[in-house]
Amino acid sequence: MKMKCPMACIGIAALLVVGVACGGSESGDEASATSDTALQSAPAQTQIQPQTAPAPSSAVQIAPPDSAPVLSAGSMITRALNAEELFASAHLIVVATINSVLEEKQIGDYGPDGQLMPAEDGGIPVTDFDVSVETVVKDDGTVGDGESFVLRMHGHAASDPSVGSSALFELPKVGDRLLFALGRNPDGTFGSGPEGLLDISGSIVTYADGQPFAAQTSPDQLIEDIRGFAVEFAALSEQTVTSHSATSGADGGMDEDEFLILLTRQDLAMLMSSQVALVTETMDMKEMAAGVDATQLETIKSWFWLALTEFGVDRGLSFAVMDFDSEDAALAQYGKITGAESGLFAMTPPIENASAHLDVNAGGIGGMLAFVAGDKLVTMHTAQSEELLPLVSLNTIEALAKTVESRF
Q: Give the separation between CA 59 and CA 257, rounded to whole angstroms.
A: 9
pLDDT greater than 90 at residue 195: no
pLDDT band at 3 (very low <50, low <70, confident <90, very high): very low
Domain stop point among 215, 232, 249 = 232
Asked if residue 243 and residue 204 are part of one domain, the reply reads no
Asked if residue 370 and residue 273 are part of one domain, the reply reads yes
Q: Give the separation between CA 8 and CA 44, rounded to whole angstroms.
A: 7
pLDDT digits (tens, 9 = 90+) for 324-336: 999 999 999 999 9
pLDDT greater than 70 at residue 169: no
Inside any domain, residue 63: no
pLDDT greater than 50 at residue 13: no
Residue 138, sorted as left (phi over 0), alpha (psi -120 to 50) or beta, turns out to be beta
As a whole number, the mean pLDDT across the chain is 76
pLDDT band at 20 (very low <50, low <70, confident <90, very high): very low
Q: Count Cβ atoms below 10 Å from residue 154 Cβ, excluding itself.
A: 20
Q: Alpha carbon 45 to chain centroid distance?
A: 19
Of the listed ranges 33-47, 83-97, 164-178, 301-315, the least confidently predicted one is 33-47
pTM over 0.75: no
Domain stop point among 232, 250, 277 = 232
Which of 21, 26, 28, 24 is closest to 296 using CA atoms?
21
Q: Domain of 250? A: 3-54+239-407
Asked if residue 271 and residue 220 are part of one domain, the reply reads no
How many domains does the chain contain in total? 2
Q: Give the separation between CA 211 and CA 26, rounded to whole angstroms.
A: 60
pLDDT greater than 80 at residue 93: yes
Asked if residue 205 and residue 248 are part of one domain, the reply reads no
pLDDT greater than 80 at residue 291: no
Q: Mapped to the 3 state alphabet, what secondary structure does the chain carry?
A: CCEEEECHHHHHHHHHHHHHHHCCCCCHHHHHHHHHHHHHHCCCEEEECCCCCCCCCCCCCCCCCCCCCCCCCCCCCCCCCCHHHHHHHCCEEEEEEEEEEEEEEEECCECCCCCECCCCCCCEEEEEEEEEEEEEEECCCCCCCCCEEEEEEECCCCCCCCCCCCCCCCCCCCCCEEEEEEEECCCCCEECCHHHEEECCCCCCECCCCCECCCCCCHHHHHHHHHHHHHHHHHHHCCCCEECCCCCCCCCCCCHHHHHCCCCHHHHHHHCCCCCCEEEEEEEHHHHHHHHHHHHHCCEEEEEEEEEEECCCCEEEEEEEEEECCHHHHHHHHHHHCCHHHCCEECCCCCCCEEEEEEEEECCEEEEEEEEECCEEEEEEEEECCCCCCCCCHHHHHHHHHHHHHHC
pLDDT band at 253 (very low <50, low <70, confident <90, very high): confident
pLDDT greater than 80 at residue 308: yes
pLDDT greater than 90 at residue 149: yes
Taking only Cα atoms into account, the Rg of the chain, rounded to an integer number of angstroms, comes to 24
Asked if residue 219 and residue 254 are part of one domain, the reply reads no
Q: Give the separation between CA 379 and CA 363, rounded to whole angstroms.
A: 18
Asked if residue 311 and residue 195 are part of one domain, the reply reads no
Asked if residue 342 and residue 215 are part of one domain, the reply reads no
pLDDT band at 131 (very low <50, low <70, confident <90, very high): very high
pLDDT digits (tens, 9 = 90+) for 24-66: 333 333 333 323 322 222 323 323 233 333 333 322 222 333 3
Whole-number pLDDT of residue 146: 95
Asked if residue 90 and residue 46 are part of one domain, the reply reads no
Domain stop point among 232, 264, 296 = 232
Mean pLDDT, to the nearest integer, of 151-170? 65
Q: Give the separation between CA 42 and CA 175, rounded to whole angstroms.
A: 55
Which of 404, 340, 394 is closest to 372 using CA atoms?
404
Q: Give the separation between CA 126 and CA 124, rounded to whole angstroms.
A: 6
The answer to whether 153 and 171 have CB atoms below 8 angstroms apart is yes
Inside any domain, residue 59: no
Q: Give the separation between CA 97 and CA 341, rounded to whole angstroms.
A: 59
